[in-house]
Every structure is written in structure tokens, then in C-alpha cells.
């Protein structure tokens, strides 16, 4: 019998959670057929069977296992399926919407009996598991009464805090009042481990530079004024992404990594853009950003950010980055040091665009200034290398028409 193991679905994946089996224990499975939904540190995606035969499930829904751990067996049908394997509901039961009989008709949202499998989307299941919410107590508003993300969020807002998600204890002696302890989600725990690893193992240094964004902001205002309704207008961050990509193309040493004692150099310039999601931080990737127009980058970053916020981002969309841009300017932060997204060579921290007095053509006048901070892995980039990269990004942003091509 062939062994099915927890697959590695992203560069940073260390473990995965089985969200839903798409086939029942004992079912015949065809090669290439959707087999199981797996949640990684970044997204939930479907894994296809790479062999054909009779399925024997060895890991149940909700189980979290490391990459490479056995989750099922597929053979010729001679083996006996596990007696305690929980069968999954058919895809049609969970996914197919029921036809409406009129414009006002809606599928009835009924609460399932205790012990009955709850019809819920993978995102709804994940959020419910993180906050300790029993899906049996939630009414679904989706097709066929399926519980969706909004239903879980509404139920969570209306319900008291779950004892399984957090615990509280008194601490009168210290004067800190009641202390509430909350367990991190698996994604939060992984981010904590990776950031601690980066700080502990990467000999980094930072460089900072001020960029005059007056021309760039004027250009953006003009683009916004001439845009048709619904048309995406490039943001300042989109300009930074494009400028970074062009600078990296000119300085390929920075478009690399330090891995296992060796330098890695990448032929493609793929810019990761840090996006804050619900209780987490995700870095989707704009592939070949140096070859894309500013308008294409704008449309892509907007779509990726929406997928992060809706919980529908997939591992392929968060893998393959060669450089990262992190922007906190929208919160009024002038400058900050970002943690390198290992094994990448550097990360660019983008601050707020502010009107401040500056010397321009020999005169002091108000200008729109922005601070950029580049954190570099000293094993890959030396001071002069980082300064050259940062200066080139500044030059491109101060001549924004160079970003139009």
C-alpha cells in the first residue's frame, strides 16, 4: 500500500491540520482526485492524490501533524479500513448551493443535532477552532444552511469568551489585576518561532534614508483624478514595490539568500508584501514585479491583500519571495526596523509620507518626505551593498515616471 504523508505546501510549512477529508474511509480514489483539505501556517488548500486505490484514513479531521507524517494509506483494497476513522461528508453536501425558488427564497438555516456533522466552510471551521466556538451552536446563512465565516464572527461577538481559548487568574500581590492567558493560534506560534529565529541567527544591520515623495504624490493625485470609477489607482506602496524590484534587478546580489552556508541567487524578482490579517501577518508575493507595470502591481497587490483579509490566500501565493516590503506608514509611523523574512537577504520598512520642512533647490520649503529603513543580512550584503540598493530605490521614487514602464 502507498503511504500518504502530510505534504509540504509552502516554504515555511512545518506542520499542517487536516480540515476535511473529501473521500470516505474505504472509498476508491483516482490519481489526481481531490483527497483532503489541509490548513497550513498561511492558508487552506486541497491536496490531490498522487496514486489510485482504496483509501484508509489514519489521521482524523482536526489532527495537526508535522510535514512527512503519515495521514492515510492507499492500496488495492485488501487492507481493512480503520474502525474509528471519521467519514467526511461528500463534497456536494458541503459545497453545492441549493437552487432558489424565487428571488426572495433562501435555504433554511437550521441548527444540526449534537453529533451530526456540521456543514461549514474551512475558514469558518478554522476560526471556530481558534476561538473555541462549538459550531453546533451556530446557525448557518450560507447555501443549504452552511456556516460561513460571517456566521462564526457574529456568534463569537455575541457569545461570552470561551474558557478553552483563554484562562484568567487573580494576581493581587503584583498589583496587575486579573491576568488573562490566551493560547496563540498555530499561525501565530509559527510566526513567533520564525521571528525569534531570525533575530537570533541573522547578523543584521539597518540603513535609513529620507525620500522626497513630492513629485510621486503629485503624480498619484493626478492619476487618481483621471481614473474612471472603480479603476485601481497605484498606491505609494505599489510605487515602492516597483522601485524595489527595478533596483534588485540592477543589483542581483541583494536578490538572494544565505542558505546552509551557501549563497543563493535568484533569476526572478519576487516581492513579498506584508499584509496584516485577522490576528496574523501574511506575506503574499508579487511574482516578477520588475517586469510588471505599476498598474499591474497595483491590481495584484489589492487582490492579494483582499485574499489575506478574507482568509482565502493559498500557499503558492505566499511562497517564492526574494525580497519583502513592509509598510506601517498608514498608521502614522515615521520609521521602524523590520525583522528579516529569512532566508531573504533584506527587508524594506516603509514609513509615513509627511509634509515636513526641507531644503529644496537652496530654499527651505514644505516637502512630502518618507523614511525608508533597509534591514540587511550581513552574511549576504555589506554596508556599501545595502547603501547602494537603498540609494537606487530612493532615486527611482524621486523620479516616479521611471516606474511607469
Alpha-carbon distance 191 to 185, whole Å? 10
* Element housing 149 (H / E): helix 149-158
Cβ-contact 217, 237 below 8 angstroms? no
Alpha-carbon distance 13 to 16, whole Å? 7
Residue indicated by cell numbers 509598510? 327
Q: Is 265 a catalytic residue?
A: no
Is the peptide bond preceding residue 148 cis, with omega within 30 degrees of 0? no
Q: Which of 136, 262, 265, 378 is catalytic?
A: 378
Alpha-carbon distance 2 to 20, whole Å? 20
Rounded to whole angstroms, the maximal C-alpha distance in the chain is 86
Q: How far is CA 52 from each of CA 7, 91, 186, rounded to the nearest angstrom?
A: 17, 19, 32
Alpha-carbon distance 187 to 196, whole Å? 14
Alpha-carbon distance 36 to 71, whole Å? 10
Cβ-contact 65, 59 below 8 angstroms? yes
Alpha-carbon distance 215 to 257, whole Å? 34
Q: How far apart are the two ends of the chain, measured CA to CA in Å?
A: 55
Q: How far is CA 317 from each of CA 271, 313, 320, rounded to the nearest angstrom?
A: 11, 7, 8
| Residues involved in catalysis | 378
Amino acid at each position: 500500500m502507498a503511504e500518504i504523508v502530510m505534504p509540504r505546501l509552502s516554504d515555511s510549512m512545518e506542520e499542517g491540520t487536516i480540515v476535511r477529508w473529501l473521500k470516505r474511509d474505504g472509498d476508491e480514489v483516482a490519481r489526481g482526485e481531490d483527497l483532503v483539505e489541509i490548513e497550513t501556517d498561511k492558508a487552506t488548500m486541497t491536496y490531490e492524490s498522487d496514486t489510485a486505490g482504496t483509501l484508509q484514513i489514519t489521521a482524523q479531521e482536526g489532527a495537526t501533524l508535522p510535514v512527512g507524517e503519515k495521514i492515510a494509506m492507499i492500496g488495492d483494497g485488501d487492507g481493512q479500513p480503520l474502525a474509528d476513522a471519521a467519514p467526511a461528508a461528500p463534497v456536494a453536501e458541503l459545497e453545492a448551493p441549493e437552487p432558489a425558488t424565487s428571488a426572495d427564497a433562501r435555504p433554511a438555516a437550521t441548527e444540526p443535532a449534537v453529533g451530526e456533522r456540521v456543514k461549514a466552510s474551512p475558514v469558518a471551521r478554522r476560526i471556530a477552532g481558534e476561538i473555541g466556538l462549538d459550531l453546533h451552536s451556530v446557525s448557518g446563512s450560507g447555501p443549504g444552511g452552511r456556516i460561513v465565516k460571517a456566521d462564526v464572527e457574529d456568534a463569537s461577538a455575541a457569545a461570552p469568551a470561551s474558557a478553552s481559548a483563554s484562562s484568567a487568574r487573580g494576581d493581587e500581590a503584583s498589583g496587575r489585576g486579573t491576568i488573562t492567558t490566551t493560547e496563540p493560534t498555530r499561525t501565530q506560534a509559527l510566526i513567533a518561532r520564525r521571528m525569534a529565529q531570525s533575530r537570533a541567527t541573522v547578523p543584521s544591520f539597518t540603513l535609513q534614508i529620507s525620500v522626497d515623495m513630492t513629485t510621486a504624490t503629485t503624480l498619484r493625485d493626478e492619476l487618481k483624478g483621471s481614473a474612471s470609477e472603480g479603476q485601481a489607482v497605484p498606491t505609494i506602496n505599489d510605487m515602492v514595490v516597483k522601485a524595489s524590484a527595478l533596483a534588485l534587478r540592477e543589483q542581483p546580489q541583494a536578490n538572494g539568500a544565505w542558505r546552509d552556508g551557501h549563497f543563493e541567487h535568484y533569476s526572478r524578482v519576487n516581492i513579498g508584501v506584508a499584509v496584516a490579517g485577522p490576528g496574523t501577518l501574511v506575506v503574499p508575493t508579487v511574482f516578477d514585479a520588475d517586469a510588471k507595470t505599476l498598474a499591474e502591481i497595483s491590481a495584484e497587490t489589492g487582490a492579494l491583500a483582499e485574499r489575506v483579509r478574507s482568509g482565502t490566500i493559498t500557499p503558492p501565493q505566499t511562497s517564492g519571495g526574494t525580497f519583502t516590503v513592509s509598510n506601517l506608514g498608514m498608521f502614522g509611523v515615521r520609521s521602524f526596523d523590520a525583522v528579516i523574512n529569512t532566508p531573504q537577504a533584506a527587508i524594506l520598512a516603509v514609513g509615513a509620507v509627511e509634509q515636513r520642512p526641507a531644503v529644496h533647490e537652496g530654499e527651505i520649503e514644505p516637502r512630502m518626505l518618507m523614511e525608508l529603513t533597509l534591514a540587511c543580512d550581513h552574511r549576504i550584503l555589506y554596508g556599501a551593498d545595502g547603501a547602494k540598493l537603498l540609494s537606487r530605490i530612493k532615486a527611482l521614487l524621486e523620479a516616479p515616471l521611471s516606474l511607469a514602464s
